């Protein structure tokens, strides 16, 4: 079982490495969206500081979401997904592997970048730390939940945008707790409550989501 | 007329350019070192303290050359890109790809030194000022160029795609600069305005110019080195590269 | 071993076929024929358990395949219209990773042998996106070289292959049957498989006569 | 000469961290770039030489034996 | 010439209609991003009013950008693009048609939605009008410039995210003038200057961009 | 009319072919053969002007095709590996819109005739995504029925088709040649085209002998 998951992760990471662009560009998308906001909203530092948690979290959410369509689409198009569905193991485990790989490629880099971008918004030290921590806990949930949406919209025309339509409502709790944790820190309340709720979402996202995802994949293949 | 064109194309062929570049590189390194030492000596040892900014202003000797180079290299890159599209010479694309990383490096250094300057002077690492913002976008443009070329494996295709992007980018740079400037001045508000450097003492000016020259020489030397590597890699099947490497044994 | 009874396939408003029944034992091959759109691909996907049948039943070793689930899938090798190779990966990486995902053991030596056999010698390390159409198909079919599972379901394996490659694949199928395996195969190209027992099944019987020339 | 002591020079009027931070990173990157380039070039040349040798030996092999498939 | 452009537009619109999801979902993406912000940032009306132009413009930009990868990708994959490149007319005209169709599908709906969403942010009447107008003028520029990026990243692995990396810097002037026009209205200065610059960008985007795009497409097909 | 001289094709590190020259007049067909990966598709794309040749020249009516540009393209009909049909549109819509994009006039009646001829009768209004692989190919090939342009370049047109459809396409090509048209065609399936003059060209000559069986 672990071997299978490892094999899936290994393959997906190798594919990501081969494309190179994938990892680097996901990060830069995050950077660019975050940098767009001051351009749209205006450069006053006070205002920017207030916006920071919301903007960073929304950007992380969008960056993750953008990489979702490719989670299964290519495997579907070139027939690999059929092969995975016909493999003699529960499809859910394969999905779990793919979710983990997706997080490593699309989630983790955001976490690492967040402190640097926070500085652009003039955030203080502890707020930066909580921001990073909240992203570290929250992004796995984004990958897990996103997988369900990616599977449901698989092979559906115009899937990419439909996908965001399905997934964003599910992302809202993550966004609220994530940005809330930082806000709470800035305003002097502790972030613990928010963070533990976020942790619960992440656990659910990673370990529960693969099973509906697998079911959706089987439907898409019919 | 046609004679001169042919002549030009002769130097545009990698086979003739490679040894030429090899002979030039040490000279540019030497010049870079001389200018660099002179500039830094003036800047850090001789130049007086700035009345308003204290000693912190000395970052200027790094920051301004880096900023200038980052902008200038983009122009040169776009020039080579245009040549490549117009005349379809192999050298042009190679030059453009050889310049991009150095340009990105200087854009990054400009940001880095600027941020380190901003903290003591303005009290913050970053403000969304026109110049700063355009420099950041310039870095994005460089990275986009490099990423695009890296994502295409066929070098000829990569060259052409990169050239198109570089040209579109060069049209866009002035637009970006003025739009940002406009946006920012209209907003004003709480933003910190850039403290104008005082009319510079002649010594400071000299130091800055020498440092800038050093960066120039450095960029040329690096670009020539990189273009030579790119040539070897791309032309590895040609007889001249085989002969060259056989010679080295 | 593989037994289908009264299968029916409905697509949209169209009944593609009904009452398709057959029985296949070890060493036998089912050669599925029919004109374009007669439902061959649909039938193959049913046999794999990917698409449910409108009615009828499929049994493997006398058990319905739906109930067998993973046990059935671990004896099944399916190759569809699509190649199931990743364009970014090299043929070698593709064959190794597909073996790993199917939880079979395949070492690099064996994989290289397989690639050489299907004529991808010298292209082991070239990303598949650069391969020609036929070479991509060959990379996909290289999986069959060391494939030991009992039931092979191949949907038009010969498409885009040149004559040498077709002979090679036919040979592989023949050897598989010799070992006591089963195969279900469709193709529009008349290729003799060196097999003891080839059963033919025509789909869309009413069109069949019109087809046979 | 503008400075009185080395300590003064290093302190840069209490802006030492910023000034030397700039200098250090700039120097580091401007040294790293040519170093990496030289390394890459060496590696490339070594690889190409290996490749040429392999090609030559393969050509020789081919001309000697026309039977049997050889992989490497 | 006009016939060709009309044929391209007709075909692309028909495809979009057939997929349905496309138009509706692009709009919903816009809506959801705009609605996410108050969730991330907090509900104070004053602050929201200040944010409105920036957020709406950034959302419009992202929504347009998300639909870019599909501008040429499907035509490329199924071989239609080769056919278009081999048609006996300048490829630039075909691109122009596709840009116009893209705007009709991905840009125009945003323009129509903007006033409604602006109300959510408590914008005043004239600001709403200028917002809508700025989007009407600005979104064609987004489609035109985006086409260049879409063509450059065509067939390149990891193209979707690379595309945003290439295109976003080019979008920045549009964003600044667009959001700036609304800001200027809110703060009592006239929006004319911004709007006319935006118009210039749009003209450039629509009529100049198809030619580098066509060149990039030919490169992608080589 | 179509003349290629000393064409050379280099892909990555590989020289696929060099010194390929031929001359084709009206009514003649070039039958391009070679094993998988020998460069047939690459050559066809060169002939269309999609890929530049590493060296050599291609002339149409004695003019280099690069210079002719649109004039050449208006006499060219290319059908590649890919079908160039939209999966969302019906076969009818597909054939009509591809005619319109190529700036040819084709009325609905003629389009329906063409679809019926290629055996898509009854599927005119079904989105192409539901068609079987062979039916998709047929929908793509339906363009040939009323195609009047002089030069047809067809890359493995027979792939995925059943025997009846193959005969039909071969017949269409034959009629085109009879009318004085030119055709360049690749295929791995031996199909006789009823044509006066078929020239054969083998790519990858050193492999050719090994291939010929
Ligand atoms: C991250 C922050 C910064 C960035 C990206 C940046 C960028 C630039 C650029 C692009 C230039 C060249 C533009 C031109 O010559 O018109 C420049 C020049 C200059 N910068 Fe900065 N800068 C930053 C921070 C600072 C700070 C904090 C100061 C001083 C307090 C400063 C002072 C100067 C001066 C004096 C020049 C030379 C101006 C001239 O020669 O006209 N910069 N900077
Ligand atoms: N929604 C639908 N409505 C009507 N007919 C449909 C629908 N979906 C699929 N079909 C028909 O079902 C058939 C599917 O056939 P299938 O792909 O199994 O054919 P095949 O025998 O594999 O053909 P080929 O030789 O071309 O591969 C086609 O005739 C197609 O037109
Ligand atoms: N970057 C590359 N490096 C090395 N070889 C390459 C590269 N790109 C393509 N090739 C080779 O070029 C050839 C392309 O062949 P092409 O697609 O023209 O073949 P074909 O004759 O049409 O084959 P098929 O019959 O399979 O369709 C293949 O052999 C492929 O391996
Ligand atoms: Mg089929
Ligand atoms: Mg081919």
Q: What six digits make up the tokens of A100?
A: 């983990």
Residue given tokens 């390394």 in the structure block: D39
pLDDT in tens, chain C (213 residues): 899 999 999 988 888 898 999 999 989 999 999 999 999 999 999 999 888 899 999 999 999 998 888 889 889 999 988 888 888 789 999 999 888 877 788 888 999 999 999 999 888 888 898 899 999 999 999 999 998 899 999 999 999 999 999 999 999 999 999 999 999 999 998 877 776 688 889 887 544 333 333
Looking from the CA of E51 toward its CB, the CA atoms found within 13 Å total 29
Chain E residues in contact with A39 (beta carbon < 8 A): 54, 172, 175-176, 179
Determine the average pLDDT of the residues in B108-137. 86
Q: Using 50, 70 and 90 to split pLDDT, how confident is the model at F175?
A: very high
Domains contained in chain F, CATH given: 1-75+151-213 (3.40.50.300), 86-148 (no CATH)
Measured on CA atoms in the order B45, B50, B55, B61, is the torsion positive or negative? negative
Both tokens of C170, joined, read 């036919």
Distances (CA, A) of F130 to A76, C14, C42, F86, F184: 16, 11, 11, 11, 31
Q: Whose CA is nearest to atom 22 of ligand 3?
A: F41
> Would you say residue B12 lies in a domain?
no
Q: Are strands C28-33 and C197-202 parallel, antiparallel or unpaired?
A: parallel
Q: What is the predicted pLDDT for the residue at D69?
A: 43
Average pLDDT over residues E14-20: 79
| CA–CA separation, B72 and E177 (whole Å) | 26
pLDDT band at B11 (very low <50, low <70, confident <90, very high): low
How many angstroms separate the CA atoms of B168 and E209, rounded?
9
C-alpha B4: how far from chain center: 29
Position B62 scores a pLDDT of 92
Closest CA to C87 of A86, A77, F15: A77
Give mean pLDDT, residues A56-68: 86
User: Ligand 2: which residue has its CA nearest to atom 29?
Assistant: C37
Range of the domain at B89: 19-48+58-247
Q: What is the pLDDT of residue A157?
A: 66
% of chain B exceeding 90 in pLDDT: 45
Q: How many structural domains comprise chain E? A: 1
CA distances from E112 to B107, B216, E33, F1 (A): 40, 52, 16, 55
Residue F150 has phi, psi (to 5 degrees) of -75, -40
Q: Is the pLDDT of residue F150 over 50?
A: yes
Average pLDDT over residues D6-25: 81
Q: Atom of ligand 2 at shortest distance to CA of C39? A: 18
A199-221 pLDDT per residue, tens: 999 999 888 999 999 999 988 88
Chain B residue numbers touching A120 (CB-CB < 8 A): 125-126
Could you tell me which chain E residue has the CA closest to the CA of B150? E156
Q: Do D69 and C121 touch (CB under 8 A)?
A: yes
B36 domain-assigned: yes
pLDDT tens-digit series, residues F8-23: 998 877 888 988 999 9
Cβ separation of C84 and A94 shorter than 8 Å? no
Mean predicted lDDT score pLDDT of chain F: 88
Number of domains in chain B: 1
Comparing C184-198, E14-28, E164-178, F62-76, which segment has the lowest mean pLDDT? E14-28
Say how far apart CA F30 and CA F153 lie, in whole Å.
Answer: 9
Residue matched to tokens 């299907």: C118
Q: What is the secondary structure of F117-160 as a DSSP string? A: HTT-TT-TTS-GGGS-HHHHHHHHHGGGGG---SEEEEESTTTT
Tell me which ligand sits closest to the C-alpha of residue B204: 1
* ipTM > 0.90, yes or no: no
In a domain, B44, yes or no: yes
List the beta bridge partners of residue F186.
F32, F155
Alpha helices in chain B (DSSP H): 2-12, 14-40, 60-87, 90-122, 130-151, 155-187, 202-234, 239-248
pLDDT of res. A22: 64
pLDDT at site A38? 86
pLDDT of C40 reads 93
For the cut 80, the answer to whether the pLDDT of residue B210 exceeds it is yes
CB pairs A-C closer than 8 Å: 75
Residues with CB under 6 A from ligand 2: C 11-14, 16, 34, 36-42; F 123, 126, 130-135, 160, 162
Listed in sequence order, the residues at least 6 apart from D61 whose beta carbon sits closer than 8 Å to its beta carbon are D70
- What's the whole-number mean pLDDT along residues A71-100? 86
What the block records as the tokens of C111 is 């994989």
Span A111-116, average pLDDT: 91
Q: Which residues of A171-196 are buried (b: 16+ CB within 10 A; e: fewer)?
A: bebbbbbbbbbbbbbbeeeebeebbe
Between B188 and F141, residue with greater pLDDT:
F141
B191: confidence class by pLDDT, cuts 50, 70, 90: very low
**Domain span at E150:** 2-221
Mean pLDDT of the region B1-26: 74
Could you say which ligand is closest to the alpha carbon of residue F162?
2
Chain A residues close to C88, C-beta within 8 Å: 15, 18-19
Residue B121 has pLDDT above 70, yes or no: yes
Residue B193 vs residues A218, C154, E179: alpha-carbon distances, Å: 59, 71, 21
Average pLDDT estimate for D43-48? 90
Best mutation site among C37, C80, C158 for ligand 2, i.e. most ligand atoms within 8 A of its Cβ? C37
- What is the distance between the alpha carbons of residues B145 and B165, in angstroms, rounded to a whole number? 7
Nearest CA in chain F to C164: F211
Does the CB of E219 have a partner CB in chain F at under 8 Å? no
| F24 or B153, which is more confident | F24
Within 8 A of C70 by CB-CB distance, chain A residues are 88-90
Put simply, whether D68 touches C (Cβ < 8 Å) is no
Q: For F185, phi and psi rounded to 5 degrees?
A: -140, 140
B65 within 8 A of B214, measured Cβ to Cβ:
yes
C154 has which bridge partners? Answer: C79, C185
Q: For residue B5, name the pLDDT band (cuts at 50, 70, 90).
A: low
In this prediction, residue F206 carries a pLDDT of 47
Instruction: For F183-205, give one letter per residue: b (16+ CB within 10 A) or e.
Output: bbbbbbbebebebeeeeebbbbe
Q: How far apart are CA B111 and CA B115, in angstroms?
A: 6
The Cα–Cα gap between C207 and F134 comes to 15
At C209 the pLDDT is: 36
pLDDT at residue C44, rounded to an integer:
94
Tell the residue number behind the tokens 């010969």, with chain if given: C158
Compute the mean pLDDT over every residue in chain E, rounded to the nearest whole number.
Answer: 87
Contact yes or no for C184/C24 (Cβ under 8 A): yes
Over residues F111-124, mean pLDDT: 91
Touch test D–B: 3 Cβ pairs or more under 8 Å: yes
D72 contact C CB<8A: no
Helix or strand (DSSP H, E) at B129: none
Ligand nearest to the CA of B137: 1
Mean pLDDT of E88-104: 92
Regarding the beta carbon of F204 and ligand 3, being less than 6 Å apart is answered no
> Is the pLDDT assigned to residue E34 strictly greater than 50?
yes
pLDDT higher than 90, residue A29:
no
Closest protein CA for atom 17 of ligand 3: C132
Does residue B35 carry a pLDDT above 60?
Answer: yes
């Amino acid at each position: 079982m672990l071997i299978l998951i490892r094999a899936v992760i290994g393959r997906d990471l190798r594919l990501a490495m081969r494309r190179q662009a994938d990892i680097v560009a996901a990060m830069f998308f995050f950077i660019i969206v975050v940098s767009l906001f001051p351009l749209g909203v205006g450069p006053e530092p006070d205002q920017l500081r207030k916006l920071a948690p919301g903007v960073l979290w929304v950007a992380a959410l969008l960056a993750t979401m953008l990489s979702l369509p490719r989670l299964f689409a290519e495997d579907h198009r070139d027939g690999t997904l059929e092969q995975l569905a016909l493999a003699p193991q529960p499809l859910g485990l394969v999905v779990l592997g793919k979710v983990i790989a997706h997080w490593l490629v699309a989630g983790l880099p955001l976490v690492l970048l967040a402190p640097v971008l926070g500085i652009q918004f003039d955030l203080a030290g502890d707020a930066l730390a909580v921001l990073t921590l909240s992203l570290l806990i929250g992004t796995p949930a984004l990958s897990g939940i996103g997988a369900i949406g990616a599977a449901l919209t698989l092979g559906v025309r115009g899937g990419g945008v439909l996908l965001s339509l399905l997934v964003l409502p599910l992302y809202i709790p993550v966004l609220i707790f994530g940005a809330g944790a930082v806000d709470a820190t800035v305003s002097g309340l502790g972030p613990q409550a928010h963070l533990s709720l976020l942790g619960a979402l992440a656990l659910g996202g990673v370990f529960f989501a693969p099973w509906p995802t697998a079911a959706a994949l089987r439907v898409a293949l019919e | 007329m046609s004679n001169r064109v042919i002549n030009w194309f002769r130097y545009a062929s990698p086979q003739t350019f490679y040894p030429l570049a090899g002979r030039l590189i040490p000279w540019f390194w030497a010049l870079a070192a001389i200018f660099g030492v002179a500039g830094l000596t003036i800047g850090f040892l001789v130049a007086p303290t700035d009345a308003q900014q204290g000693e912190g202003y000395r970052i200027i000797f790094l920051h301004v050359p880096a900023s200038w180079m980052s902008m200038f290299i983009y122009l040169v890159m776009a020039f080579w890109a245009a040549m490549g599209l117009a005349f379809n010479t192999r050298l042009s694309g190679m030059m453009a790809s050889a310049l991009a990383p150095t340009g990105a490096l200087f854009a990054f250094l400009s940001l880095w030194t600027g941020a380190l300057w901003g903290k003591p002077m303005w009290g913050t690492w970053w403000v969304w000022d026109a110049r700063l913002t355009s420099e950041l976008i310039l870095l994005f443009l460089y990275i986009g160029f490099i990423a695009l070329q890296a994502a295409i494996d066929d070098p000829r295709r990569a060259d052409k795609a990169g050239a198109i992007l570089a040209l579109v980018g060069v049209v866009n740079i002035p637009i970006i600069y003025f739009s940002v400037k406009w946006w920012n001045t209209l907003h004003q508000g709480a933003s910190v305005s850039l403290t104008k450097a005082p009319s510079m003492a002649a010594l400071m000016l000299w130091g800055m110019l020498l440092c800038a020259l050093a960066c120039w020489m450095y960029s040329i030397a690096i670009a020539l080195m990189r273009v030579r590597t790119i040539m070897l890699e791309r032309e590895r099947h040609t007889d001249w590269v085989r002969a060259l490497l056989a010679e080295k044994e | 071993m593989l037994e289908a009874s009264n299968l029916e396939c409905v697509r949209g408003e169209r009944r593609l076929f009904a009452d398709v029944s057959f029985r296949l034992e070890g060493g036998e091959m089912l050669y599925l024929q029919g004109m374009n759109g007669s439902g061959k691909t649909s039938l193959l996907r049913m046999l794999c358990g990917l698409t449910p049948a409108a009615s009828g039943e499929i049994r493997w070793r006398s058990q319905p395949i739906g109930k067998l689930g993973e046990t059935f899938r671990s004896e099944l090798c399916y190759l569809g219209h699509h190649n199931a190779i990743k364009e970014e990966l090299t043929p070698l990486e593709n064959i190794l990773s597909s073996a790993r995902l199917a939880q079979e053991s395949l070492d690099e030596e064996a994989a290289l042998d397989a690639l050489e056999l299907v004529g991808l010698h010298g292209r082991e390390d070239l990303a598949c996106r650069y391969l020609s159409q036929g070479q991509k198909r060959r990379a996909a079919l290289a999986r069959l070289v060391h494939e030991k599972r009992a039931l092979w379901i191949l949907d038009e394996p010969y498409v885009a292959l040149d004559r040498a490659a077709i002979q090679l694949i036919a040979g592989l199928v023949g050897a598989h049957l010799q070992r006591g395996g089963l195969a279900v195969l469709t193709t529009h190209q008349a290729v003799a498989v060196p097999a003891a027992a080839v059963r033919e099944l025509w789909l869309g019987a009413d069109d069949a006569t019109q087809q046979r020339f | 000469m503008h400075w009185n002591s080395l300590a003064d020079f290093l302190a840069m009027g209490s802006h030492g961290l910023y000034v030397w931070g700039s200098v250090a990173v700039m120097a580091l990157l401007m040294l790293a770039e040519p170093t990496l380039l030289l390394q890459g070039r060496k590696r490339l040349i070594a690889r190409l030489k290996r490749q040429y040798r392999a090609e030559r030996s393969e050509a020789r092999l081919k001309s000697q034996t026309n039977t049997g498939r050889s992989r490497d």
